[in-house]
Amino acid sequence: MAMTAAIIGGGVIGGGWLARFVLNGWNVRVFDPDPEAERKINVVLDQARHALPMLYETSLPVEGSVTYCSHIGDTVIGVDWIQESVPERLDVKHAVIADIQAHAPEQAVLASSTSGFKPSELQQGSIFAQQIMVCHPFNPVYLLPLVEVVPSPKTSTQHLKMAIHLLTSIGLSPLHVRKEIDAHIADRLLEAVWREGLWLINDDIATTKEIDDAIRFGFGLRWAQMGLFETYRIAGGEAGMAHFIAQFGPCLKWPWTKLTDVPALTNDLVQKISNQSDAQSGQHSIAELETIRNHNLVALLRALKQQGQAAGTIINAHEANLIDVPKLAVKLRSVHRTVPIDWTDYNGHMNEGRYGQVFSDAADAVMVHVGADAAYIEAGQSYFTAETTVKYLQETHAGTAVEVHSKVTVGAGKKLGLFHEMRGLDGTVLATCNQLMIHVDLETRRSSLPAGTVQKKVEALAAAHKAEDKP
């Protein structure tokens, strides 16, 4: 049975939460008094539909439903999760939480997206403090995995454990902040960089573009994979972190930063920042910038995913739970996935080498289907591809959802012949592949007869597919 989430406040963050839940198969109810809420949320959801599936080598669950409600009470009745993302005013949040708790089940998680308030502040005056905690995400919520999960001493262990479990199940990485503090962890770090950036502009040392270049061409690339402390551990050389601190620690007493001083945000400074920002990226609409950002994030995350490092580990773990191993059946859907942005070439369509990868993945699925799985290979038996013929029938673009349907055309002795059809979800045939595989003994690296029941399953599929093709 599908889980249900309630989204209270459908701005950029609330819309991102909605997209993350919906694309992972949850049903979602939304309350937002803004008459433009549905339109704005649909813009975010469309961005997510395009970007999130490109992270994975398999398809996401069937989308959940979205229901727009006129009252908070209707939104939260009977739900499993409540995400509050209303404006950062404590009085507003208290009023909303009171309305939520008058109608919501006590077993549901009541999470706030707040960037700065502590959960104990949110719990003031509440009738059931145990379910309230902070779950602070990062924009775009549907792509970035980190969520800071901050309980107070009054938050129940049961609700905390459930929150971490459910967040993990939708591909997020919960960071349990064990001691509540204003602005949690990440925003305190971000504020320090933001403050220094404002001073650099205020003092005419750097422009918005120059500051952004310093981050994205330099330390930002290191931070994306290793963070702060692991980066500096390497900087210490073989002697490690202690040596780095001994070497550079004295610099902390030098007047390199403005520490907690903040430049006055005068009209002149605000206008200077705005003008520089316009000059830097004003040629793009916000929607265009979001698409650029999402494509870049997908490419970076997929690179980390391939390496099995940093945020890539979260995607790999989530993908392992999404993979649907095909059951033994005549009609075999061997691949179902979305074409990622990094699979396209200079012509703007899928590179021919990636067709080979899709059909290779299809062959792997057929192998698992007949019992030539990881355990079989570990035991020293496998299939090698001897020949493939690919026909490219239609252009395939990034973001296109594709399926591969495979048939066994030869299933005699050492040979396994396959015919693959790659289709769009509308049934259009985009490419085909004829593939000949030979069974191999991995110790001798020579052809051999399949072991165990593999041959019987191959023969059965070959016969069934031959019968299926008859008029």
CATH number of 4-184: 3.40.50.720
Amino acid identity, position 92: V
Instruction: Report, as an integer, the average pLDDT of 306-330.
Output: 83
pLDDT, tens digit (0-9, with 9 covering 90-100), for 26-51? 999 999 999 999 999 999 999 999 99
Higher pLDDT, 471 or 71: 71
| Complete edge-to-edge strand list for the sheet that includes strand 81-84 | 66-68, 27-31, 4-8, 81-84, 109-112, 132-136, 146-150, 173-176
**CA dihedral sign, ordered 373, 379, 381, 383:** positive
pLDDT, tens digit (0-9, with 9 covering 90-100), for 382-411? 999 999 999 999 999 999 999 999 999 999
Q: Dig out the tokens for 300 from the structure.
A: 């970076």
Question: Residue 452: which pLDDT band, with cuts at 50, 70 and 90?
Answer: confident
pLDDT at residue 236, rounded to an integer: 87
Percentage of the chain modeled with pLDDT above 70: 98
Could you give the 3-state DSSP secondary structure of residue 127? coil
In this structure, what is the dihedral angle of CA atoms 207, 213, 216, 222, given to the nearest 10 degrees?
Answer: -110
Could you tell me the CATH superfamily of domain 187-283?
N-(1-d-carboxylethyl)-l-norvaline Dehydrogenase; domain 2 (1.10.1040.10)
Domain boundaries, the chain: 4-184, 187-283, 325-469
Mean pLDDT, rounded, of the chain:
94
* Residues in contact with 112: Cβ distance below 8 Å, sequence separation at least 6, in sequence order: 83, 84, 85, 93, 119, 122, 132, 133, 134, 135, 136
Q: Residue length, the chain?
A: 471
Which has the minimum average pLDDT: 212-226, 442-456, 457-471? 457-471
Q: Dig out the tokens for 262 from the structure.
A: 């903040």
Contact criterion met (CB below 8 Å) for 422 and 434: no
Indicate yes or no: pTM above 0.85. yes
pLDDT, tens digit (0-9, with 9 covering 90-100), for 270-297? 999 999 999 999 999 999 999 999 999 9
DSSP label at residue 215: I
pLDDT at residue 469, rounded to an integer: 77
Question: Residue 323: which pLDDT band, with cuts at 50, 70 and 90?
Answer: confident
Contact criterion met (CB below 8 Å) for 424 and 401: yes
pLDDT at residue 102, rounded to an integer: 97
pLDDT at residue 282, rounded to an integer: 92
Instruction: Please determine, for residue 328, whether its predicted confidence score (pLDDT) is greater than 50.
Output: no
Half-sphere exposure of 158 (CA within 13 A, CB side): 6
Percentage of the chain modeled with pLDDT above 90: 88
Contact criterion met (CB below 8 Å) for 174 and 164: yes
Could you tell me the CATH superfamily of domain 325-469?
Hotdog Thioesterase (3.10.129.10)
CA 330 to CA 400: how far, in whole Å? Answer: 26
CA 312 to CA 306: how far, in whole Å? Answer: 7
pLDDT, tens digit (0-9, with 9 covering 90-100), for 123-175? 999 999 999 999 999 999 999 999 999 999 999 999 999 999 999 999 999 99
